[in-house]
Amino acid sequence: YSTFQGRPVWKKHEITYRINNYTPDMKKEDVDYAIQKAFQVWSDVTPLKFRRVHAGEADIMISFANGAHGDFNPFDGKDGILAHAYEPGPGIGGDAHFDEAETWSKNQQGRNLFLVAVHELGHSLGLGHSNDRKAIMYPNYGYLDPNTFHLSSDDIRGIQSLYGGPEKHQPMPNPDRPKPAVCDPNLSFDAVTTLGDKIIFFKDGVFWWKFPETSKTGISSISSLWPTLPSGIQAAYEIEARKQVFLFKDDKYWLLSNLRLQPNYPKSIYSLGFPKYVKKIDGAVFNPLLYKTYFFVNSWYWRYDERNQRMDPGYPRQITKNFPGIGPKIDAVFYFKRNYYFFQGSTQLQYDVMLHRVTKRLRSSNWFGC
Amino acid sequence: ASQAKVISPTEMDEEFAEMYLNHFYGLTETIPMTKMKISRDSLKEKIQEMQKFFGLNVTGQLDTSTLEVMHKPRCGVPDVHH
């Protein structure tokens, strides 16, 4: 890695940014999200916090521009130079400019805005170019996959040589909303699934992981492992034999295989056979004995045949009628040792798949020994 | 680095390379103002600096792989800070 001459850095840990304008290539919310995620990549490994402002001068001003655009570094049209940014400092210092002549995107078409933003924000924070091709600070574009991207050790060494590591407490993906304590009696989960030898519990931008048989737990931010995955995952299930975990949010779903986000995702849930009136999935669970997946939506559920890759006929059916004691609506569900564990608010119901009935009523946070 | 074919660069190649090396490797910054004609030596030296940075064969010549890297989409911040 390298830094700028004189090692300019921001002398404070809370840095503001402002998105001055937008590229017509992407939806505004996709630009906002790509930039937010790009900042989160750096805040996850430093004590820095980034706060967005919508008016006035921010430390880091972000804009899209064509050709000559007011600094002494005109852009050169499509390809060639994609973007540039200035080292920390007043005025234009820290600012990041993106060449509007490129075709910006949130996927691998054209130029991925998230990847280029992570690189330029590295400059905005004081990093120079690295000759390590695996580093995000490598000057040429096209060597990294946005789906599997994570900072290289060279990047982390570089930025931590300027700002140090994150403060001792766990990373807080959203400083305005403190991380919920896992033993809070009112805690409910967004989604739960097994993942190899662990169980993972999603909540907002974080997830807890736990070994079922030991008390060892941990917490991590979704973005630190999977920067392009949104927070607020709503449903998740694992097909252990295939080492696949499917994650759902709104009308999209992603596939993790060996902990890596797979290319060509997200996909639409309608490709699974849901009718258009289904907007999101509350919970999903794979039954390895039947090789079927159950999807729970409001007070109804569907059943998907994983072998034939299609929804079974005769669905949806009502949850309360076919899962006695469960529902009418659920938050999350996962399968473990011949039981489904249904989560409804702060309550968890152990449901024996052979006996077809609830056999235990627990608190949602029961797995954490609260 | 793939085995670079030694070619005789076109005038356009040379112009592009000088522009590239000037923007990213400060080619003209290190040449005394009194001599604005870029000498072969300083050009060769900058080509070597760029080849070393990108892990290419350090030949100081504008071979195919060097030109190929120069034409890749990239960030506009210089690779070296003089």
Q: What is the pLDDT of residues B42-81, one digit of tens each?
A: 889 999 999 999 999 999 999 999 999 999 999 999 998 7
**pLDDT reported for residue A175:** 38
**Nearest chain A Cα to B55, which residue?**
A131
Among A102, A120, A238, A306, the one annotated catalytic: A120
The reply to whether residue B75 touches residue A5, judged by beta carbons under 8 angstroms, is no
The answer to whether A99 and A74 have CB atoms below 8 angstroms apart is no
Distance of residue B81 Cα from the nearest chain A Cα, in angstroms: 6
Of B72, B74, B77, the CB nearest to A123: B77
Q: Does B32 touch chain A (CB under 8 A)?
A: no
Residue pLDDT, tens place only, A28-79: 989 999 999 999 999 988 999 999 998 899 999 999 999 999 998 999 999 9
**pLDDT reported for residue B57:** 93
In the predicted model, is pLDDT for residue B1 greater than 50?
A: no
Of B74, B77, B78, the CB nearest to A140: B74
Of B73, B74, B81, the CB nearest to A128: B81
Model confidence at A170, pLDDT cuts 50, 70, 90, reads very low
Mutate which of A69, A98, A125, A129 to test chain B, going by most B C-beta atoms within 10 A?
Answer: A129
Rounded mean pLDDT of A145-153?
A: 85
The answer to whether A235 and A281 have CB atoms below 8 angstroms apart is yes
Q: Does B24 touch chain A (CB under 8 A)?
A: yes
> For chain A, what is the mean pLDDT?
90
Cβ contacts of A292 within 8 Å, gap of 6 or more: A286, A303, A304, A305, A306, A312
Residues of B in contact with A83 (CB under 8 A): 75-76
Residue pLDDT, tens place only, A120-139: 999 999 999 999 999 999 99
Residues of B in contact with A73 (CB under 8 A): 76
Q: Which two tokens stand for residue A150?
A: 């994570």
For residue A367, the 8-state DSSP code is G
**Nearest chain A Cα to B78, which residue?**
A129
**pLDDT reported for residue A251:** 92
Rounded mean pLDDT of B20-31?
A: 80
- Interface confidence, given as ipTM, is 0.85
Distance of residue B75 Cα from the nearest chain A Cα, in angstroms: 5
> Whose CA is closest to B16, among B43, B39, B53?
B43
**pLDDT reported for residue A204:** 85
In the predicted model, is pLDDT for residue A183 greater than 80?
A: no
Residue pLDDT, tens place only, A212-268: 888 778 888 887 788 788 888 999 999 999 999 999 999 999 999 988 888 888 899
The reply to whether residue A80 touches residue B81, judged by beta carbons under 8 angstroms, is no
**pLDDT reported for residue B4:** 56
* Dihedral of alpha carbons A88, A91, A95, A97, sign: negative
In the predicted model, is pLDDT for residue A180 greater than 80?
A: no
In the predicted model, is pLDDT for residue B34 greater than 60?
A: no
Q: Does B15 touch chain A (CB under 8 A)?
A: no
For residue A171, the 8-state DSSP code is P
Of A85, A128, A140, the CB nearest to B69: A140
Euclidean distance between CA atoms A133 and A129, whole angstroms: 10
Cβ contacts of A277 within 8 Å, gap of 6 or more: none
The reply to whether residue B73 touches residue A119, judged by beta carbons under 8 angstroms, is no
Distance of residue A203 Cα from the nearest chain B Cα, in angstroms: 36
Residue pLDDT, tens place only, A187-198: 889 999 999 889
Distance of residue A85 Cα from the nearest chain B Cα, in angstroms: 7
Q: Which two tokens stand for residue A241?
A: 């034999």
Rounded mean pLDDT of B16-45?
A: 77
Of A120, A131, A142, the CB nearest to B55: A131
Mutate which of A81, A82, A116, A127 to test chain B, going by most B C-beta atoms within 10 A?
Answer: A81
Catalytic residue list contains A120: yes
**pLDDT reported for residue A163:** 94
Of B72, B78, B81, the CB nearest to A140: B72
Mutate which of B58, B75, B79, B80 to test chain A, going by most A C-beta atoms within 10 A?
Answer: B75
Q: Residue with structure tokens 């990093």?
A: A127
The reply to whether residue B75 touches residue A128, judged by beta carbons under 8 angstroms, is no
Q: Does B54 touch chain A (CB under 8 A)?
A: yes
Bridging pattern class, strands A283-287 and A357-363: unpaired
Bridging pattern class, strands A60-65 and A111-112: unpaired
**pLDDT reported for residue B3:** 53
In the predicted model, is pLDDT for residue B31 greater than 60?
A: no
DSSP string spanning A1-24? Answer: --B-TT----SSSEEEEEE----T
User: Which residues of B, range 55-74, sit inside 8 Å of A by Cβ?
Assistant: 55, 69, 72-74
